[in-house]
Amino acid sequence: MDKMENKYMSMITEYIDGTLSPEREKEFQQYVQEGHIDMAEVDEMAKLQGIMLSSSAPAPSAALKENFYQMLNEAQLKQPQAKNPTSLLERINASLFGNQYGRMAFGIGVLIIGLFLGSNLGSNSYKEELTDLNGQMVEMREMMMMAMLERESVSDRLKGVQMSSALSSSNEKVIDALFLTLNSDPSTNVRIAALNTLAGYTSDPKVREGLVNSISKQKSPLMQVNLAELMVKLQETKAKDELKSILESDQTPEDVKVTLRASMEKII
């Protein structure tokens, strides 16, 4: 896991930033030639440069907008003394859907709502409403994450994985989406990103079990090796049977088998 992240992901970032040293540049080109790094995907990832300030927000579907307005209306029904709800909706709409700074829009929306409520509600009600709105903003982030993970662009799906890291590790929808990505996304880079994120949630027994079950679903040697390294780190004995099935497969390259055997020996 760490090996992959340090050797490839950080190197790709340096390549995009133009900060690779001559030695690292040579190593980078070698990985490209060997097929470990896909330049087509690197070119897409280059578009992520300055993501917080320059990337376009995904075009929201009609359903996404409808759900957003529904949640806002529910919040406003709980505060009958609030003024100009239509004006507030227009301002949130302009902030969330009317400009290109998609990732910043959530913060802008919270700020506008917070200021609005703060000027119209008492201290206790203000805190209660902010708590409620915070929950609704989490739901919005979930919806945006799901939408990104379903897009055709590799870079967009990588954004979706990145967005998931800002959500709670106890969020079942997020965990399920990450496992779906880990087990079925056509891009190895996206699956690696999902694996890196899930590796941070292994204190949850369900996540550990899901990672073990994912081993048999991986056809990429790179994914198999990275999962094996994670199992060593976790000392997950249940992974041995899954790794053994890969070792017994005629489709597994011999060099991968050597690596997997070494990993199995390290799991006590």
Residue pLDDT, tens place only, 191-243: 999 999 999 999 999 999 999 999 999 999 999 999 999 999 999 999 999 99
Residue pLDDT, tens place only, 65-116: 455 555 555 555 554 444 444 444 445 444 444 443 444 455 545 555 555 5
pTM of the predicted protein model: 0.55
Q: Which string of DSSP letters, residue by residue, matches the chain?
A: -HHHIIIIIHHHHHHHHT---HHHHHHHHHHHHHTSS-HHHHHHHHTTTTHHHHPPPPPPPHHHHHHHHHHHHHHHHT-TT---HHHHHHHHHHHHHSSS-HHHHHHHHHHHHHHHHHHHS-HHHHHHHHHHHHHHHHHHHHHHHHHHHTSS-HHHHHHHHHHHTTS-TT-HHHHHHHHHHHHH-S-HHHHHHHHHHHGGGTTSHHHHHHHHHHGGG---HHHHHHHHHHHHHHT-TTHHHHHHHHHT-TTS-HHHHHHHHHHHHH--
